[in-house]
Amino acid sequence: MSKEANDADIDVDISDEQQDWRFLNAIDRSGQSLPKRGEKDYEPDGTGLQVSTLAESRAAMYKALEGERKHSSKNHVSATWFGYIGKARVDVVAGPHFMTMGKADSSGVIWLLPEEVIYLVERGSMECWWPEGAPMSLQAVYSTCIKAMGDIEKLQVYSYLRKIGFIVQRATSYDPDFRVLEQRKLEREEALINMRNKAGYSGLLRRSFLMGYNNCVVSPLSFISRQLARRAATSNSTLLWRSVYRSYESIYSELNIIPCHRPPHLEAEVSDLDIEEPAAPFRVMFDVWKPGSTFKKASPGKPDYRIVVVSARDDKMPSLNQTASLFASVPVSETTKDKSQMQRLKEGWRTVILAVVDAGIISLFKLSDVGFGDEKMYIRPPPKPRAPRTRKNQSKKS
């Protein structure tokens, strides 16, 4: 066989061939097994048999697509779409979906966001109506809701996360009128009050005194010692100016002459820097909880993940200032201090997930605020205690 023939065989994709959909006509609802597919015609031969076969297959496919989705009256859910507010009012509530979807107002009426409306209508769980009383088609739901959302990438990410089992809620901080950093400042003040209540007034004074002592005394002395060490290193053409070092820790501490980033380890340590308000698209769009979590809409708790939706065709990766603004809008994970060193380097103290959508293909990237300068890799951790071994003979006698 020639090389050209082999290349031709490789280029053939069976999925591109015309499928025989006539097997759909033979479906028996009482049957327990799925019918087998029909044979494919790989190229037209000009015969009337092939033309009639293709026509019957096409008609069977259209007939299957024209089938109506039906559901029982017990699970029937209907909603009315109001375009001027970009939400749908649920008129008839049924089913378990509203345990994690929708928000109720003061009168108890549940309102759905555009992504929730499309998700329920697309899966056949809800029927949506215009305010005038006419039913909305799936095309009308898509056009109106996507226009209210802004773009289709947010819908694709929401549907993807919902279909794989996650609980998804739109983040409050995504509202352009919501001032994220002002809210974070209030949360930081509450954290300071809680710390003062736990430590007591004397503990707070002691902490303030130590911070002032470090800033006024220790920092200038350390700066002077570093300058002297730098001069000695310049004169001796080496970074290490001492004659004797007793440990590797003292050597690496002398080599630590470059300033590094140190993320806050506590919510009260977040400083009020000149950071701009995070702007779209680099704002947290969705708060996500794991499927096994005990989620309650009244008190959902802290989300497991925070998702930022980005279009690969329209946006670029965030700059350093945009990343700093994004991290400033996310609370500090104070439980990170209890994790191992490798977990702290991997997960960081503040984490955001970028959902990059490229023509429907979703890629997830994790951005973590990691303090590589805080972790002293040159200090060997203490060995884990081993369990005492028991001999086999002793176990047999006992």
Question: Lowest mean pLDDT: which of 65-79, 222-236, 256-270, 306-320?
Answer: 222-236
| Domains in the chain, CATH or no CATH each | 18-65 (no CATH), 74-150 (3.40.1170.20), 182-368 (no CATH)
What CA–CA distances, in Å, run from 361 to 150, 270, 311? 18, 36, 10
pLDDT band for position 353 (50/70/90)?
A: very high
Per-residue confidence band for 191, with pLDDT thresholds at 50, 70 and 90: low
pLDDT at residue 76, as a whole number: 82
93 closest CA partner among 110, 70, 71, 115: 110
Band of residue 300 on the pLDDT scale cut at 50, 70, 90: confident
Is the pLDDT score of 318 beyond 80? yes
| pLDDT confidence of residue 314 | 86
Percent of the chain with pLDDT over 70: 66
Report the pLDDT value the prediction gives residue 355, as an integer from 0 to 100. Answer: 92
The yes-or-no verdict on residue 215 having pLDDT over 60 is no
Least confident among 60-74, 213-227, 249-263 = 213-227
Q: Rounded CA gap, 128 and 135, in Å?
A: 6
How is residue 189 written in tokens? 């003040």
Residue keyed to tokens 């001069």: 231
Instruction: Read off the pLDDT of residues 249-263 as tens digits, 9 standing for 90 and up.
Output: 777 877 777 778 888
Whether the bond between 176 and the residue before it is cis, its omega within 30 degrees of 0, is no
- Residues with Cβ within 8 Å of residue 115, at least 6 apart in sequence: 145, 149, 154, 155, 158, 159, 170
- Residue where the block lists tokens 């909305």: 136
Condensed to tens digits (0 to 9), the pLDDT of residues 87-133 reads 999 988 888 888 888 888 888 889 999 999 999 998 888 889 999 88
For residues 155 and 360, give the distance between their C-alpha atoms in angstroms, rounded to a whole number: 10
| Helix %, strand %, coil % of the chain (to 5) | 45, 15, 45
Q: Judging by beta carbons within 10 Å of its beta carbon (0-12, 13-18, 19+), is residue 298 exposed, middle or buried? A: exposed
pLDDT bracket for residue 188 (50, 70, 90) = low
Which positions ≥6 away from 377 have C-beta within 8 Å?
Answer: 341
Query: In this model, does residue 195 exceed pLDDT 70?
Result: no
pLDDT digits (tens, 9 = 90+) for 30-46: 555 555 555 665 677 77
What is the 3-class SS of 213-247, one letter each residue? HHHHHHHHHHHHHHHHHHHHHHHHCCCCCCCCCCC
pLDDT, position 228:
55
